[in-house]
Chain A
């Protein structure tokens, strides 16, 4: 099983992602430079966090126009699993693989902190190792993570069980106080219609190592490991 981690100019969480995949047993990982159009044979495509193109114009907007993204879109349409975290989520939204938009945090400041996420669905290759309602603790680190989508889009996503994670408190209550960035409906992560593309703002990859003090994010990668083997 092969995982391709795409590196754009300004991507910076590729080592974190590599660590997480390896810990879950996905050891065949390759860093793919965005100008090298080589996703052939990848069973999993990962868009990690960072500041692609310095967040200039709009977060993810320029990376979405990068040559490799045509291929990512094509592979996603074929059913290959695509995971986008943080800036990766922003790129997936900008490339049209996921709906909605990511706005400036409501505090207007970059925020890095541990948050709790409520698993809304275990019905995906990314969340199968979690149970519905299970709370995990992972960090966020972003300035533009305030998810927004039109009411009809939200309704469609809810009807199709496509909300993957919502921000919640330690007990799993989805409250405004537990919402770090103002995301509509406390949405932290969403799936596409075919359920093979997940975008999320928080960083499960930073909760997968012993020295990080928690393995709370590991089930996301273990789910993928299981789905792909």
Chain B
């Protein structure tokens, strides 16, 4: 069938002798003694070295979700518009006109810390592959990044490597990186978080799945050759770090975005031809997880002839081939007889194409090489009998209420400090390295003032080619809330993403999540995880906003110090016409600025508390989900009927920060008539929006009808943000303060 066998180097059989499996060897593969006992029972004999390796990756936390699985079941995953929920390469939702959006978020935390450029690049490459494996063309990339204290000696090099890696991969693929969020906190000093999200577009009759393979069908390998990189990456990502983690650099994969671009085009071209039965990308645990997934989901077996696998170097063992995480590879099951047609497409794109095996009825994974069988194991137990742990949870302490805070504050002074603090500072240094415009459909991209795309907004907005319709995308999480109270914090992350989509004028449809936590074997970490799942579940149910895909990243600890719990939420919404997208920029004079949702009262866990008063105490703001929904629907309605000119959700920094951002975005001033204390201007109470309108009376009236608080704050105009007391600051100065910090930090001058 292929020429590979003949060309493969002839090995002396004893050159390929494998070590014998022992409990110690199993231990060094990250398997517990009980897990190894189960393996012995399943096999009825001592496994071969290759079989042991396959068990170890399939049963790693990364692939098996063994600590999280029983809790993830609690998440709501259904809605009439959900076409595919969790369990496939990515989730799929109906966006009308026979089209669907395919999306998922995934972490590449551990590799990005060890080797920032390649770790982040291959994270982006991996998530795009998940999306185009399903037949969808990626149309937008997003990310959610957490770095350590800016003053920590490693932070700057991690930031510059990660950003260059994300940019290097996404730009070359021609997929716009349209937004994201970046936070800094010392809890990430030893474990940064790199969560990447891709949104793709597909016709509903052209969606491909990993399921559906039958017996007697060719197993086809396409893409890059297999090398020795990334071996045991999934196992590395399932353990915590210590001082020697840099030694793990060889477990990080090396990306080639050019090959992935070719793979994308070749796959989409073949998918037009209806020759593929099912397809699975080779991500974590490479050829192992892809072949096991396809076999398990199809209820079949797979027999692979590893001599036929395209290899980058001679002398690779079956163990190395099966565990390699070389990037830019796909495994597919073709309709028998369509091999030549498929081969011609991959040859056109200069990619490897090899028929490496056949599907069988015996439900076994059988691997041959050099005339020997190296692995012959049942498939179902690899999945069904993967360990599932209901790990012990500690009881979470509710945080103490906020201790009294000093009264007197200069509001403008505090505003300037907040706008120039690491979390709120302009991230221009980051996003100007991302091509957010390629493909020509970006309506709203990253940033607030001086943006690449025309309309700064609370969500990224990408038009669907050839239509008026557009998708809105956002990523959100406030880790300091989650640390103080994982349940409320996770609820808030979902609510904020929903609110951002509403503020942009979109109808929120569904989320993906990326659950980043510490070591699940510690009861207090497990308690955080379980509470966060509960919080997400409650919010998703209340807001009709199901979870359709996601990823869990545990063991984000170094020397026993865990990160803040960080359940990052990626939300997607749709709008019928991009022209109704709502900007956050106040661009004209004479607009009335209003606060919808009530005055601020809550300073516990606020950014004001941390940046101005140097404290991180109190409870996070609670989310009243019924109120959240009512306010959001009102905002959407008022945007759709043209009553709102600009809209911005209230989150980090509260009302005054939101107003300042709206003015900076439009480079317009305003005079505020309202007075208030620090909690009024900087409180982070939820379910609120700042808006600019030409029709304040209508808005007040409509809000009153629905029992929603609406306050007039002032009028836009001039070049300064002014209080009626006379105090003021030039908007240009606010922009300067907002832009100042990150470039200076990266130059080492912050």
Q: Tell me, yes or no, whether A binds B.
A: yes
Q: Which residues of A contact B (CB under 8 A)?
A: 9-10, 12-13, 15-16, 19-20, 33, 35, 49-51, 53-56, 109-114, 139, 141, 143, 203, 205-206, 209-214
Whether, in the assembled complex, B81 has its beta carbon less than 8 Å from a beta carbon of chain A, the answer is no
Is there contact, CB below 8 Å, between B435 and A112? yes
Whether, in the assembled complex, B440 has its beta carbon less than 8 Å from a beta carbon of chain A, the answer is yes
Is there contact, CB below 8 Å, between B171 and A51? yes
User: Complex Cα distance A33/B350, Å?
Assistant: 13
Whether, in the assembled complex, B385 has its beta carbon less than 8 Å from a beta carbon of chain A, the answer is no
The chain B residue sitting closest to A14, CB to CB, is: B174
- For A143, the chain B residues whose CB sits under 8 A away are 171
- For B620, the chain A residues whose CB sits under 8 A away are none
Q: Which residues 411-454 of B sit at the A interface, judged by CB distance below 8 A?
A: 431-443, 450, 452-454
Is there contact, CB below 8 Å, between A111 and B432? yes
Interface segment, one of B256-264, B401-409, B482-490: B256-264
User: Complex Cα distance A109/B434, Å?
Assistant: 10
Find the residue from B171, B257, B438, B455 having the highest chain A CB count within 10 A. Answer: B438
- For B258, the chain A residues whose CB sits under 8 A away are 9-10, 51, 53-56
Selected contact of A54 from candidates B167, B172, B435, B439, CB within 8 Å: B172
Is there contact, CB below 8 Å, between A211 and B443? yes
Q: Please give the distance in Å from A65's CB to the nearest CB on chain B.
A: 14
Q: Please give the distance in Å from B483's CB to the nearest CB on chain A.
A: 33
Is there contact, CB below 8 Å, between A15 and B440? yes
Is there contact, CB below 8 Å, between B171 and A141? yes
Selected contact of B174 from candidates A12, A53, A55, A205, CB within 8 Å: A12
Is there contact, CB below 8 Å, between B437 and A206? yes
Whether, in the assembled complex, B164 has its beta carbon less than 8 Å from a beta carbon of chain A, the answer is yes
- For A139, the chain B residues whose CB sits under 8 A away are 437, 452
The chain A residue sitting closest to B577, CB to CB, is: A211
Selected contact of A16 from candidates B259, B349, B432, B439, CB within 8 Å: B439
Is there contact, CB below 8 Å, between B437 and A15? no
User: Complex Cα distance A141/B350, Å?
Assistant: 27
Whether, in the assembled complex, B463 has its beta carbon less than 8 Å from a beta carbon of chain A, the answer is yes
- For A213, the chain B residues whose CB sits under 8 A away are 443, 453-455
Q: List 26 A-B contacts (CB under 8 A).
A: A9-B262, A10-B262, A12-B261, A12-B438, A13-B439, A49-B438, A51-B171, A51-B257, A54-B259, A56-B258, A109-B164, A110-B167, A110-B168, A111-B433, A112-B431, A112-B432, A113-B452, A114-B450, A139-B437, A141-B171, A141-B435, A141-B437, A211-B463, A211-B578, A212-B442, A212-B454
Whether, in the assembled complex, B348 has its beta carbon less than 8 Å from a beta carbon of chain A, the answer is yes
Is there contact, CB below 8 Å, between A12 and B436? no
- For A16, the chain B residues whose CB sits under 8 A away are 438-440
- For B174, the chain A residues whose CB sits under 8 A away are 12-13, 50-51
- For B455, the chain A residues whose CB sits under 8 A away are 213
Selected contact of A15 from candidates B168, B454, B465, CB within 8 Å: B465
Q: Please give the distance in Å from B292's CB to the nearest CB on chain A.
A: 31
Extra A-B contacts (17), CB below 8 Å, given A9-B262, A56-B258: A9-B350, A12-B173, A13-B439, A13-B440, A15-B440, A55-B172, A109-B164, A110-B433, A112-B431, A112-B435, A141-B435, A203-B437, A206-B437, A211-B443, A211-B454, A212-B437, A213-B453
User: Complex Cα distance A128/B37, Å?
Assistant: 79
Q: Which residues 158-214 of B sit at the A interface, judged by CB distance below 8 A?
A: 164, 167-168, 171-174
Q: Please give the distance in Å from B309's CB to the nearest CB on chain A.
A: 23
Q: Please give the distance in Å from B147's CB to the nearest CB on chain A.
A: 18
Is there contact, CB below 8 Å, between B440 and A206? yes
- For B349, the chain A residues whose CB sits under 8 A away are 9
- With contacts A51-B258, A54-B256 taken as known, whether A110 is within 8 angstroms of B437 at the C-beta atoms is no
The interface bits of chain B over 248-267 (1 if a CB of A lies within 8 angstroms of the residue's CB, else 0) are 00000000111101100000
User: Complex Cα distance A51/B173, Å?
Assistant: 8
User: Complex Cα distance A33/B440, Å?
Assistant: 21
Is there contact, CB below 8 Å, between A109 and B433? yes
- For A211, the chain B residues whose CB sits under 8 A away are 441, 443, 454, 463, 470, 578-579
Is there contact, CB below 8 Å, between B172 and A112? no
- With contacts A12-B173, A109-B433, A113-B452 taken as known, whether A212 is within 8 angstroms of B440 at the C-beta atoms is yes
Is there contact, CB below 8 Å, between B441 and A13? no
The interface bits of chain B over 376-398 (1 if a CB of A lies within 8 angstroms of the residue's CB, else 0) are 00000000000000000000000
- With contacts A54-B258, A211-B578, A214-B454 taken as known, whether A113 is within 8 angstroms of B432 at the C-beta atoms is yes
- For A114, the chain B residues whose CB sits under 8 A away are 450, 452
- For B171, the chain A residues whose CB sits under 8 A away are 51, 110, 141, 143
Is there contact, CB below 8 Å, between A10 and B261? yes
Q: Please give the distance in Å from A107's CB to the nearest CB on chain B.
A: 9
User: Complex Cα distance A221/B471, Å?
Assistant: 28
Q: What 9 A-B pairs come out closest when comparing CB atoms?
A: A213-B454, A12-B174, A54-B258, A16-B440, A51-B172, A141-B435, A112-B435, A110-B433, A211-B443
- For A53, the chain B residues whose CB sits under 8 A away are 258
- For B453, the chain A residues whose CB sits under 8 A away are 212-213
The chain A residue sitting closest to B466, CB to CB, is: A19
Is there contact, CB below 8 Å, between A112 and B437? yes
Q: Please give the distance in Å from A102's CB to the nearest CB on chain B.
A: 16
The chain B residue sitting closest to A209, CB to CB, is: B440
- For A203, the chain B residues whose CB sits under 8 A away are 437
Find the residue from A20, A49, A143 having the highest chain B CB count within 10 A. Answer: A143
User: Complex Cα distance A214/B443, Å?
Assistant: 11
- For B452, the chain A residues whose CB sits under 8 A away are 112-114, 139
Q: Please give the distance in Å from A85's CB to the nearest CB on chain B.
A: 12
